[in-house]
Amino acid sequence: MKHILVTGCQRSSTRFYAHYLSKLLNINYVDEKEYNIENYGLLLRRLNKPSVIHGPSLKHKVRKFKRDFPEGLVIWMYRDLKECKLSMERIGWDYEESELKKVESCLMEVGTKVRLVGEFKELLINLTLNLGILYFKLGFVDQIINSRSLEHLKGFKKNQGVIGLK
């Protein structure tokens, strides 16, 4: 069964693109809320048909996903540092420390040394992109997409710097 995991940094258009793909491909959409954001076991139990999975909090499970679903695809989203940080601040997203630990752990698992210096949100955004690039080079990620490239999609509009449904 083929599944598509859309992951990357929070606030990088993962939900938007996962919705778009599920409609485009006419397959099931699984929102992160359906598996309590990062309960991978619960997600596995819900995958009974081909699905596009919204999973920004599953970036630390990408290697496991590729082992569990060898024919599955992983799409890694990224967004400009300033835009992503502003979006996090606008909604009051304050989980960067716990997310940063996951990204740091993933980087260390593949032998990359991490030096955590700087503001948490900027570190998270930069290290998440670096992890995506590294996973792409290692074959765990199939495609990396800049959220800016999605602005032209039919049926969608840009609203206050955030891509959303019309």
**Residue 163 pLDDT:** 38
Domain of 154 in residue numbering reads as: 4-165
Residues 48, 1: Cα–Cα separation, whole Å: 9
**Residue 102 pLDDT:** 83
Percent of the chain with pLDDT over 90: 38
Number of helices (H), then strands (E), in the chain: 6, 7
Q: Number of structural domains, the chain?
A: 1
What's the pTM value of the predicted model, to 2 decimals? 0.84
Contact 136, 144 (CB under 8 A): yes
In the DSSP assignment, the letter for residue 26 is T
- Which tens digit of pLDDT belongs to each residue from 19-63? 999 999 999 999 999 999 889 999 999 999 999 999 998 988 999
We report the CATH number of the domain holding residue 24 as 3.40.50
Banded pLDDT at 4 (limits 50, 70, 90): very high
Per-residue buried b or exposed e for 79-104, using 16+ beta carbons within 10 Å of the residue's own CB: beeebbbebbeeeeeeebeebbebbb
- Determine the average pLDDT of the residues in 150-163: 50
**Residue 32 pLDDT:** 93
